[in-house]
A and B are shown apart, each in its own frame.
Chain A
Amino acid sequence: MSSPEYWTKPWPSSSAEKPPPPGSNQAAVAARPTAEQVIAGLRATSEGGPDLVQLLTPEGERVTHPHFDLDITPEELRSLYRDMVLVRRTDRECNALQRQGQLGIWVPLLGQEAAQIGAGRAMRPQDMAFPSYREHGVAWCRGIDPTDLLGIFRGTDHGTWDSQEKRFHPYTIVIGNQVLNAAGYAMGQRLDGKVGDGHQDDAEATIVFFGDGATSQGDVNEGFVWGAVYDAPVVFFCQNNQWAISEPMERQSRIPLYQRASGFGFPGIRVDGNDVLATLAVTRWALEECRSGNGPVLIEAFTYRMDAHTTSDDPTRYRLSDELEAWKLKDPIERVRVHLVRSQFADADFFAQVDAESDALAERLREFCINMPTPPADRIFSHVYSENSPVLDQQRDEFLDYLSKFEHAGGAL
């Protein structure tokens, strides 16, 4: 999929100047980026490059692509718009709940709605998804109620959805671990005979989500190796949101991430991650490749994290406001809205209805969140093992007995 010139032409080239020797007086001066570096950085984060797959421009115009196109009805378009608006509203409400002390932390997805809804809607019910911890949009597509996400961030649980039933693995906090787990799961799908010709109706694939920072992890690279050598039906879906907390892309890779796939022996595609149609088309194709035995595939969804890494983060310390402003012009929701209006696929009533639905969802989330009960203390000891554990049973009983003394004394815990 990639042009050979990429291998001879560095892209982006932001490291033309050699760093000064350690301890040199130039160090303080060089710590400030040069004009060329600023421009290169902006290019790296705002331009997807010539191989970027796009079907809907930031101005809301439908364009074609020689390899990927999408036959989509106005109703489906409206549905994608609705998904993105509701997911963004979930995200903003949870961000606010964190600021008000109702959630311990929140991981914003603002700006990544198209990448997640596009990928999530490309899945069939039997496909399996392995998220990291920002995939609130994919969770939505898997039929997980947004309230199910709250336990993790309010600290009442580690995820309350049934991952086997929803076919959406629990959030994984350690960077990149889930990529190997997904590769193994996909190996199991192949062992079960769910891949390849003759099994098309019940064919399955796995999709795993990770960020640009995760591509530096050994587990992600090992996942690529395993996926490749076992022909596992797994789509590696990298949301390149340009920043791994404060570390920019240039701290992760010298080449565009999608090009790494060729080194592992499977296709890599860069898609406009702010374009829900392109993401849907490319992911649909990639999952089908996997279901028919041609996996794995790497997708790099080129997008941008509009908010902080988490609510504990302060992106104003490490990134330029110009960058943020440039990406605001590529907003994933606005371009669909413009397209719907221009094409007369939706009227004012539709947008009002989605807004009302969004308000109702936010209210429901808030009410649910502030009323979430703290689990009983014996939750600490439950399901550590599959069978009874006399050691833990004793620890639990002793601890509950200790707590009961406070209750008898009328004290509150």
Chain B
Amino acid sequence: MAETTSRTATRSIDTTNRSGSLGSDEQPASTQKITIAKALNLGLRTAMERDPKVLLLGEDIGKLGGVFRITDGLQKDFGEQRVMDTPLAESGIIGTAVGLAIRGYRPVCEIQFDGFIFPGFDQIVSQLAKLQFRTQGRVKMPVVIRVPFGGGIGAVEHHSESPESYFAHTAGLKVVACGNPVDAYWMIQQAIASDDPVLFFEPKRRYQDKAELDTSVQPIPLHSSRVLQEGSDVTVVCYGPMVRTCTDAARVAAEEGHRVELIDLRSLSPLDLNPVFESVRRTGRLVVVSEAPGQSSITSEIAAQVQQHCFYSLQAPVLRVTGFDTPYPPTKLEEEFLPDLERVLDAVERSLRW
């Protein structure tokens, strides 16, 4: 950061159990307080109950319930044929899911960690993404690939990456990221119901974040972004694990008199940017936040699109707060690498000062 900030004290702010401002103070009878991890588990269970063609495939997802316990109890209830503990090979998991989809199944693959998806990359971009186009719609690919992604959990190398831009760059794939328990519950079901292949990114360091889930409230479409908080001074766009970071930043900014309009993208491909354009036309300022490296990324796409569509509305250049264009660092440095509340607020301030 070229500019310094006086807000170092806020680093210690208590942000536990605060998710994307979707809950309300009053709890309707049909709601339950639920973590992202449990919401995903519940969403998977609901999808499997609804459609016998839904299968889960992955390493350690059966008895163990997955390394993050997202599939906990599902093998016990649905059997080994519907919750398959697979051999340890990601290309095999995805390549056989492609075959199962051709056969009429709806496989949901779990990739244990983000950095392990690359052995399966070829099957994803060469077959999964292209079969529908190649066959002109005669073959559908209703496959979901769940990827716990992002850093902040103190893990070793290859366990903290944000590879979503590789997949958003590939036509034929859809890419989404949930940022709170309510979206986790609904979006996983919507992704499974989709006839297109969906890369489903889960913010692993937020798995234990809680929020109220009211299952009687119908969800918005899977590929819609959502305005989490309205504001008139500056627009902040984020997704996945950055939703909570930016929610906290927006709250601190409000305390200091800056009204942030906060948008959770939710869908990274296709991008639903109309709400972003509308917001920027009102605020004139945009900060895009992601922990993925910025180069040739989701954030650079948004910056390009906003300058194209909102050129005359911009009061400041689009600013980005991202991970650096480096490999993910060793754990003791990840707090420096990951965008935090301070860096987001710094960018908001710079945008406002422009």
Q: Determine if A162 is an interface residue (Cβ-Cβ < 8 Å).
A: yes
Q: Which of B87, B91, B137, B172 has the most CB of A within 10 A?
A: B91
CB contacts (< 8 Å) of B138 on chain A: these are 162-164
Q: Which of A186, A223, A385 has the most CB of B within 10 A?
A: A385
Q: Determine if A182 is an interface residue (Cβ-Cβ < 8 Å).
A: yes
Q: Determine if B237 is an interface residue (Cβ-Cβ < 8 Å).
A: no
Of the 9-residue stretches B23-31, B126-134, B255-263, which lies at the interface with chain A? B126-134
Of the 9-residue stretches B2-10, B33-41, B95-103, B337-345, which lies at the interface with chain A? B95-103
In angstroms, how far is the closest chain A Cβ from the Cβ of B335? 36
Query: Contact between A163 and B139 (Cβ–Cβ < 8 Å)?
Result: yes
The CA of A174 and the CA of B91, in the complex, are separated in Å by 13
Query: Contact between A222 and B87 (Cβ–Cβ < 8 Å)?
Result: yes
Nearest 8 A/B pairs, CB to CB? A184-B99, A180-B95, A188-B103, A184-B96, A386-B195, A185-B99, A222-B92, A383-B137
List 8 additional contacts besides A164-B102, A180-B92, A188-B102; criterion CB under 8 Å: A159-B135, A170-B131, A184-B102, A187-B100, A188-B100, A384-B132, A386-B140, A387-B195
Q: Can you show 8 pairs from A to B with CB atoms below 8 A apart?
A: A158-B135, A170-B139, A177-B123, A184-B95, A187-B96, A191-B55, A226-B92, A391-B271
Query: Contact between A222 and B89 (Cβ–Cβ < 8 Å)?
Result: yes
The CA of A218 and the CA of B87, in the complex, are separated in Å by 13
- Name the contact of A169 in the complex, choosing from B102, B137, B140, B195 (C-beta under 8 A): B102
Query: Contact between B126 and A180 (Cβ–Cβ < 8 Å)?
Result: no
Q: A170-B134, A225-B89 are in contact. Are A385 and B196 (CB under 8 A)?
A: yes
- Name the contact of A180 in the complex, choosing from B105, B123, B131, B172 (C-beta under 8 A): B123
Q: A384-B172, A385-B174 are in contact. Are A188 and B104 (CB under 8 A)?
A: yes
Within 8 A of B (CB), among A210-241: 218-219, 222-223, 225-226, 229
Q: A174-B126, A386-B194, A390-B270 are in contact. Are A188 and B99 (CB under 8 A)?
A: yes
CB contacts (< 8 Å) of B349 on chain A: these are none
Query: Contact between B98 and A180 (Cβ–Cβ < 8 Å)?
Result: yes
Q: A184-B95, A218-B91 are in contact. Are A385 and B100 (CB under 8 A)?
A: no
Q: Which residues of A contact B (CB under 8 A)?
A: 157-159, 162-164, 169-170, 172, 174, 177, 179-189, 191-192, 218-219, 222-223, 225-226, 229, 382-387, 389-391
The CA of A225 and the CA of B96, in the complex, are separated in Å by 11
In angstroms, how far is the closest chain B Cβ from the Cβ of A139? 15
CB contacts (< 8 Å) of A162 on chain B: these are 138
Q: Determine if B230 is an interface residue (Cβ-Cβ < 8 Å).
A: no
Chain B interface bracket (under 10, 10 to 19, 20 to 34, 35 or more): 35 or more
Query: Contact between B96 and A181 (Cβ–Cβ < 8 Å)?
Result: yes
In angstroms, how far is the closest chain B Cβ from the Cβ of A157? 8
CB contacts (< 8 Å) of A158 on chain B: these are 133-135
The CA of A188 and the CA of B107, in the complex, are separated in Å by 11
CB contacts (< 8 Å) of B136 on chain A: these are 157, 382-383
The CA of A186 and the CA of B81, in the complex, are separated in Å by 14
Q: Determine if B122 is an interface residue (Cβ-Cβ < 8 Å).
A: yes
The CA of A226 and the CA of B136, in the complex, are separated in Å by 29
Q: Which residues of B contact A (CB under 8 A)?
A: 55, 81, 86-87, 89, 91-92, 94-105, 107, 119, 122-123, 126-127, 131-140, 171-172, 174, 194-196, 270-271
Q: Number of residue pairs across A and B with beta carbons under 8 Å?
A: 130
The CA of A387 and the CA of B86, in the complex, are separated in Å by 31
In angstroms, how far is the closest chain B Cβ from the Cβ of A283? 20
The CA of A88 and the CA of B6, in the complex, are separated in Å by 79
Q: A185-B103, A385-B172 are in contact. Are A219 and B270 (CB under 8 A)?
A: no
CB contacts (< 8 Å) of B271 on chain A: these are 391
Query: Contact between B103 and A189 (Cβ–Cβ < 8 Å)?
Result: yes
The CA of A194 and the CA of B289, in the complex, are separated in Å by 50
Query: Contact between A163 and B195 (Cβ–Cβ < 8 Å)?
Result: no
CB contacts (< 8 Å) of A182 on chain B: these are 99
Query: Contact between A163 and B99 (Cβ–Cβ < 8 Å)?
Result: no
In angstroms, how far is the closest chain A Cβ from the Cβ of B90? 9
CB contacts (< 8 Å) of A185 on chain B: these are 99-100, 102-103
Q: A170-B135, A192-B103, A226-B87 are in contact. Are A181 and B98 (CB under 8 A)?
A: yes
CB contacts (< 8 Å) of B126 on chain A: these are 174, 177
CB contacts (< 8 Å) of A225 on chain B: these are 87, 89, 92
Query: Contact between A191 and B81 (Cβ–Cβ < 8 Å)?
Result: yes
CB contacts (< 8 Å) of B140 on chain A: these are 386
Query: Contact between A219 and B194 (Cβ–Cβ < 8 Å)?
Result: no
The CA of A334 and the CA of B104, in the complex, are separated in Å by 43
Query: Contact between B99 and A172 (Cβ–Cβ < 8 Å)?
Result: no
Query: Contact between B135 and A177 (Cβ–Cβ < 8 Å)?
Result: no
CB contacts (< 8 Å) of B137 on chain A: these are 382-383, 386
The CA of A229 and the CA of B88, in the complex, are separated in Å by 12
Q: A174-B126, A225-B89, A384-B172 are in contact. Are A181 and B135 (CB under 8 A)?
A: no
Query: Contact between A226 and B96 (Cβ–Cβ < 8 Å)?
Result: yes
CB contacts (< 8 Å) of B123 on chain A: these are 177, 180, 219
Query: Contact between A385 and B99 (Cβ–Cβ < 8 Å)?
Result: no
In angstroms, how far is the closest chain B Cβ from the Cβ of A214? 13
Query: Contact between A181 and B132 (Cβ–Cβ < 8 Å)?
Result: no
Q: Which of A179, A182, A219, A225 has the most CB of B within 10 A?
A: A219
CB contacts (< 8 Å) of A157 on chain B: these are 136
In angstroms, how far is the closest chain B Cβ from the Cβ of A39? 39
The CA of A192 and the CA of B98, in the complex, are separated in Å by 16
In angstroms, how far is the closest chain B Cβ from the Cβ of A114? 28
In angstroms, how far is the closest chain B Cβ from the Cβ of A135? 16
List the A residue with the shortest CB-CB distance to B125.
Answer: A174
The CA of A185 and the CA of B97, in the complex, are separated in Å by 8
Query: Contact between A181 and B95 (Cβ–Cβ < 8 Å)?
Result: yes
Query: Contact between B87 and A184 (Cβ–Cβ < 8 Å)?
Result: no
List the A residue with the shortest CB-CB distance to B174.
Answer: A385
The CA of A200 and the CA of B58, in the complex, are separated in Å by 31
- Name the contact of A177 in the complex, choosing from B89, B104, B119, B127 (C-beta under 8 A): B127
In angstroms, how far is the closest chain B Cβ from the Cβ of A28? 38
- Name the contact of A187 in the complex, choosing from B99, B131, B133 (C-beta under 8 A): B99
The CA of A169 and the CA of B135, in the complex, are separated in Å by 9
Query: Contact between B98 and A184 (Cβ–Cβ < 8 Å)?
Result: yes
- Name the contact of A384 in the complex, choosing from B87, B91, B119, B133 (C-beta under 8 A): B133
